[in-house]
């Protein structure tokens, strides 16, 4: 990949698989096998493990750890302190043969302090509310929030929130 990216002098970036235009801020750690696409913004205090793929135009806010098995597609927003897991039955010094795979599909947005349990897929353009705990797959264009997070409405690709009847706050019906 291109070397037209910016890495803050206080970051520990071991990977060379970083796309042009990406910025990695201070106090980040990116392990050697991680892949990060173009025009990403990886804010301070982010940890990215080896078996991680991040697409283009992704924003990762401070305090996020992205563990082995996570794939983030293009144009995804990951809010501050979002937590990913990758082992459904963690034990000290005992590792599964393979970590559970988690996918964030294109255009998804994950609110601050949400927890994404391993093995789930967040659909394209889906929206996860702040503080939510995602314990199951979220379909494309669905709004989920709560603990556990449940279906609360829909969202258009352009970011218009809809109720369960596909209506926006003014009552207009939308197709998704």
Q: Domain locations in the chain?
A: 6-162
User: Cα–Cα distance between 111 and 136 in angstroms, integer?
Assistant: 16
Mean pLDDT across 150-159: 98
The pLDDT of residue 3 is 72
Q: Which residues contact 113 (CB under 8 A, 6 or more apart)?
A: 79, 80, 81, 82, 83, 130, 131
The pLDDT of residue 1 is 44
User: Cα–Cα distance between 104 and 77 in angstroms, integer?
Assistant: 10
Query: Domain 6-162 is of which CATH architecture?
Result: 3 Solenoid (2.160)
Question: Mean pLDDT in the chain?
Answer: 97
Residue the block writes with tokens 């940890």: 47
Residue the block writes with tokens 């990060």: 36
Q: How do residues 60-70 score in pLDDT, each as one tens digit?
A: 999 999 999 99
The pLDDT of residue 66 is 98
pLDDT(2) > 60:
no
In the structure encoding, which two tokens stand for residue 18, read together? 């970083």
In the structure encoding, which two tokens stand for residue 38, read together? 């173009």
- Long-range contacts, 63-67 (Cβ 8 Å, 24+): 67/99
Q: Dump the DSSP string for 77-120.
A: EE-TT-EE---SS-BTTB--SSPPPEEE-TT-EE-TT-EE-TT-
Specify the 3-state DSSP secondary structure of 165. coil
Mean pLDDT across 43-50: 98
Residue 119's pLDDT band (cuts 50, 70, 90): very high
Q: What is the pTM of this model?
A: 0.96
DSSP structure class, residue 173: B
Separate counts of helices (H) and strands (E) for the chain: 0, 22
Q: How do residues 92-103 score in pLDDT, each as one tens digit?
A: 999 898 999 999
Mean pLDDT across 49-75: 98
């Amino acid at each position: 990949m291109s070397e037209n990216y910016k890495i803050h002098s206080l970051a520990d970036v071991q990977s060379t698989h970083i796309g042009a235009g990406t910025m990695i801020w201070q106090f980040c750690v990116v392990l050697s096998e991680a892949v990060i696409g173009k025009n990403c913004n990886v804010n301070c205090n982010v940890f990215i493990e080896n078996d991680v793929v991040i697409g283009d135009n992704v924003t990762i806010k401070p305090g996020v750890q992205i563990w082995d098995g996570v794939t983030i597609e293009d144009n995804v927003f990951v809010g501050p302190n979002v937590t990913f897991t990758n082992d459904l039955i963690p034990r000290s010094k005992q590792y599964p043969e393979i970590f559970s795979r988690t996918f964030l599909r294109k255009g998804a947005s994950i609110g601050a302090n949400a927890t994404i349990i391993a093995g789930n897929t967040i659909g394209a353009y889906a929206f996860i509310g702040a503080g939510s705990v995602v314990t199951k797959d979220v379909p494309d264009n669905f709004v989920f929030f709560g603990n556990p997070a449940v279906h609360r409405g829909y969202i258009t690709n352009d970011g218009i929130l809809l109720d369960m009847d596909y209506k926006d706050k003014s009552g207009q019906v939308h197709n998704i």
